[in-house]
Chains A and B, each alone.
Chain A
Amino acid sequence: AQKVTQAQTEISVVEKEDVTLDCVYETRDTTYYLFWYKQPPSGELVFLIRRNSFDEQNEISGRYSWNFQKSTSSFNFTITASQVVDSAVYFCALSGLKNTGRRALTFGSGTRLQVQP
């Protein structure tokens, strides 16, 4: 069974602070993909990043960076110099390769980030 844990239910920061959102996962698959999605108040899930289990290189995209550590089964997300527009619920998700080709995502329960001006 696959499981994604986002222990931080809600985080509040002041604009320009850095913030890290934690994600820990469990899977028996040897090949899998990890994702982060953003859900702003409008409700639509926005894809942010995908990493596969073979690639442990950290990635940076503008103010966003991701730290994937297979040894600790973690895929953490850092926002540098946070802005009010970053306020949203962020979901970490896991997808394995199945015989059926199914890549349905197992989501964590989300972390609500509030960035105060």
Chain B
Amino acid sequence: DTGVSQNPRHKITKRGQNVTFRCDPISEHNRLYWYRQTLGQGPEFLTYFQNEAQLEKSRLLSDRFSAERPKGSFSTLEIQRTEQGDSAMYLCASSHDSRRNIAYEQYFGPGTRLTVT
């Protein structure tokens, strides 16, 4: 079990550029979540996938944000035309929910810190 991994760990970009982050969940986990965390705050929910289906998106996820999870494995989060307000830590988490396994806890990756200059 290698845990949730995220790449890159840090990204500095200029305002207006597009960025893409990748998350690799724990291999047997069917659910994947994206959160955003700003300094001094708790993580805020952005979106979540069950297998390859994106089941819910937060109002925080503007039209400039898009997330995918092809084949129900890794996921990508893309931000188009970045703005300075997008600067934050982007966290990915995964969990395995089934009828038999009620362990709903989410396991988090180390995050991608985005700085928009």
Quick check: A104 and B56 within 8 Å, CB to CB?
yes
Mask for B84-113, Cβ within 8 A of A = 1, else 0? 000001010101010000011111111101
Question: A83 within 8 Å of B by Cβ?
Answer: no
Chain B residue total in the interface (Cβ 8 A): 28
- Secondary structure type dominating chain B contacts: strand
Which residues does chain B contribute within 8 Å of A47, judged by CB atoms?
Answer: 105-108
CA distance in complex: A95, B91 (Å): 17
Task: Tally inter-chain residue pairs, CB-CB below 8 A.
Answer: 62
Quick check: B43 and A103 within 8 Å, CB to CB?
no
Tell me how far the C-beta of A98 lies from the nearest C-beta in chain B, rounded to whole angstroms: 8
> With A103-B97, A104-B45, A104-B48 in contact, do A44 and B108 touch (Cβ < 8 Å)?
yes
List, sorted by A's number, 17 A–B pairs whose CB atoms are closer than 8 Å.
Answer: A35-B105, A44-B111, A45-B91, A50-B105, A91-B43, A95-B104, A100-B56, A101-B50, A101-B55, A104-B45, A105-B35, A105-B43, A105-B45, A105-B106, A107-B42, A109-B41, A110-B41
> Which A residues are closer than 8 A to B by beta carbons?
4, 33, 35, 37, 42-47, 50, 91, 93, 95, 100-110
